[in-house]
Structure 1
Amino acid sequence: MTPDDKSRGTFARYLPIATILLVAGLGAFFLRDYLSFQTLADNREALIAFRDANYILTALVFVLVYVAIVGFSLPGAAIATLTGGFLFGLFPGVLFNAVAATTGATGIFLAAKHGFGDRLAARMDASGGAVKKLKDGIQEDETSYLFIMRLVPAVPFFVANLVPAFVGVGLRKFVLTTFFGILPGGLVYTWVGAGLGEVFARGETPDFGIIFEPQILGPILGLAALACLPIIIKKFRKQKGA
């Protein structure tokens, strides 16, 4: 391989993740005032009228826009989730939201994995020591760790997309754990979105912190605790065996 071929290969490898980072930066600067609750409130009647006249097209456009928001880490993911509930109700709104968010997250995952994820995972294996132990620990209970990252609200969505790429998680497992892992939180925000009509009528704004209410957060953390069980049981068995 010539130096030029190697340079082109390196450029092609990093281009997807570089594009995502570039668009994310531009979006944060130019779109933050447009992908907002106020924009939804100002255009709610036009959106409902368009949906009533073109339901399938509205659903398709909504999903594509949501995929772009998540895939390029643009501001407004929470607003998009509310919009899904507002336009399509709890169901199929939650399904549209989950499919779109999972598709966008998969785009980031594949870009990171293609760019440096596989190589970073290989270096972790070769490095030994604490770094390799960390990677091996995650891989030993991949499904549990992936579910925990999705269920715990404190873990940023972008981080939960990148870490699996860095430790060599497979695509199928990433997609499945992402889809089912975001459903509980997505269900909450879609439900809030489905009730936006009354919120608009009162001239109020939705409570984005509702997911941290005890009656909401408790069951979600309970699911996270269940995801931890296989990890705890394996560690207990290892200690008992030792």
Structure 2
Amino acid sequence: MDIGIDDVKSYVNSFGTMAPVAYIIMFALVPLTLFPDSILAIAGGLAFGLFKGYIYTAIGALIGGSISFYISRRLGRRVVKKLTKDKLDNIELMINEKGFIIVFLLRLIPLFPFDVISYGSGLTSIKYKDFLLATFLGTIPGILVFTNIGAKSLDIGSNSFYISIGALILLILISIVLKNKFILKNVNKAQED
């Protein structure tokens, strides 16, 4: 069964005045399902507009990241490996070495799975407050871009819609550069050590 952005929007709006709370809970529980965060963020922009969509998505992302982080801290490597389907690779080594900056850089890369970063961070020595701050700061561009696409998707053909698509393309290009310049370099370094 395929679930699309409109399906998520309709489901969220079915909660009426409790829609923001339902959306935040849905976003917070995404790490347990590994559902693509970007689809939910776009639906948040579609359902609530850019400003409220950003706020609700940011809150949900911080809660969801925290849940993943603490699942890793409490239940350990075996459970996390099953949840992430062995996608952790060298993330754990990089975060142990450079904590805040690696989580921040990984969060700037929307092509890098949000949940894997959170689960991997919980297995490291990074302090929770550093993880949370890096997550908050690093997700600002991605959340803004994805909620903006949702908010502008009702205006297909308008200048603001094309600007939101341009921002997405720019974010992806910047992500590729960051991934190649910083992350892959750190992965290679971690493998050599």
Report the TM-score, using the length of structure 1 for normalisation. 0.56
Q: How does 1:33-72 map to 2 (within 5 A)?
A: 33=2, 35-40=3-8, 43=10, 47=13, 51=16, 54=17, 57-68=18-29, 70-72=30-32
Considering only aligned residues, what root-mean-square deviation do their CA atoms show, in Å?
Answer: 3.8
Paired letter, 2:120:
V
1:216 lines up with 2:177 in the alignment: no
Match of 2:76 in 1: 116
Are the aligned partners of 1:151 and 1:181 in contact in 2 as well (CA < 8 Å)? yes
Structure-2 change in CA distance of 1:144 and 1:74 (3 Å): closer
Measure, in 2, the Cα distance between the counterparts of 1:160 and 1:65.
19
Counterpart secondary structure, 1:169: coil
Structure 2 residue corresponding to 1:159, chosen from 94, 116, 122: 116
**1:161-190 Cα distance to aligned partner (Å, 9 max, x none):** 122122221211111111221111111110
Are the aligned partners of 1:36 and 1:76 in contact in 2 as well (CA < 8 Å)? no
Paired letter, 1:113:
R
1:94 lines up with 2:54 in the alignment: yes
Are the aligned partners of 1:86 and 1:194 in contact in 2 as well (CA < 8 Å)? yes
Question: Structure 2: where are the runs of 5+ without partners?
Answer: 78-91, 158-164, 187-193
Measure, in 2, the Cα distance between the counterparts of 1:212 and 1:85.
14
TM-fit CA distance, 1:140: 4.7
Structure-2 change in CA distance of 1:36 and 1:210 (3 Å): farther
User: Which of the pair has more CA radius of gyration?
Assistant: 1
TM-fit CA distance, 1:147: 0.9
Measure, in 2, the Cα distance between the counterparts of 1:177 and 1:216.
18
Match of 1:79 in 2: 39
